[in-house]
A = this chain, B = another copy of it.
Amino acid sequence: MQDNVFKSLVGLWPGFPRNGVLFKDINPVLRNKEALNYITERLGEQLVPNQIDMVAAIESRGFIIGSLLAMKLNKGLILMRKAGKLPGPTVSEPYNIEYGSAVLEVQIDAIKAGQRILLADDLIATGGTAIAAANIIQRLGGVIVGFVFVIDIKNLGGTAELAKRGFKVNSLLEYD
């Protein structure tokens, strides 16, 4: 699939979920099997499997991107969930997102000290969720290999924040 065809699949919805936002809808992308392969191959080709121990996926569309890459790289999948959904001892971090605030949570035994973790989500905007995820992983002794996103809303500054912290970021589509 060509890059411009891939990009043309993203739906654009002004005013969702509230006025002033131009929502980028990844649903038509995911429904296209060639585009699913494009995501897996294009994000996967920039990664070195033997430098990664686990893939961590951010709820909930990140679960899709994380699953594709875990399969592609032959790694296990760690779920980073919204608060209250995980049984047993957890570590959590509050964070601000484009449309409000939330808490991200991971099971304490999900990450062993020294494990090299690739973080996956569908989209980065302000980077609030990504930074909360990175904080949790580092608190548990994990080493962040990098981040992968399908969509980067560049002008909201998330990837710049991640770069400032020294994290490697790969994304497929950029928007202002």
| CB–CB B87/A11 < 8 A | yes
| Interface of A: prevailing SS | mixed
Residues of B with C-beta under 8 A to A79: 27, 30, 61, 64
- In chain B, what residue has the closest Cβ to A78? B31
CB contact under 8 A between A40 and B71, given known A61-B63, A63-B61, A88-B25: yes
CB contact under 8 A between A13 and B87, given known A31-B78, A36-B77: yes
CB distance from A111 to the nearest CB of B (A): 9
Within 8 A of B (CB), among A108-149: 110
Verify if A164 is at the interface (C-beta below 8 Å from B): no
Verify if A167 is at the interface (C-beta below 8 Å from B): no
Q: Convert A22-52 into 0s and 1s, putting 1 for each residue whose CB lies closer than 8 angstroms to a CB of B.
A: 0101010011110111001000000000000
CB contact under 8 A between A71 and B68, given known A27-B86, A31-B54, A88-B13: yes
| Of listed A11, A16, A37, A71, residue having the most chain B CB within 10 A | A71
Verify if A170 is at the interface (C-beta below 8 Å from B): no
| CB–CB B23/A87 < 8 A | yes
| CB–CB A77/B60 < 8 A | no
A residues in contact (CB < 8 Å) with B: 11, 13, 16-17, 23, 25, 27, 30-33, 35-37, 40, 54, 57, 59-61, 63-64, 66-68, 70-71, 74-79, 84, 86-88, 107, 110
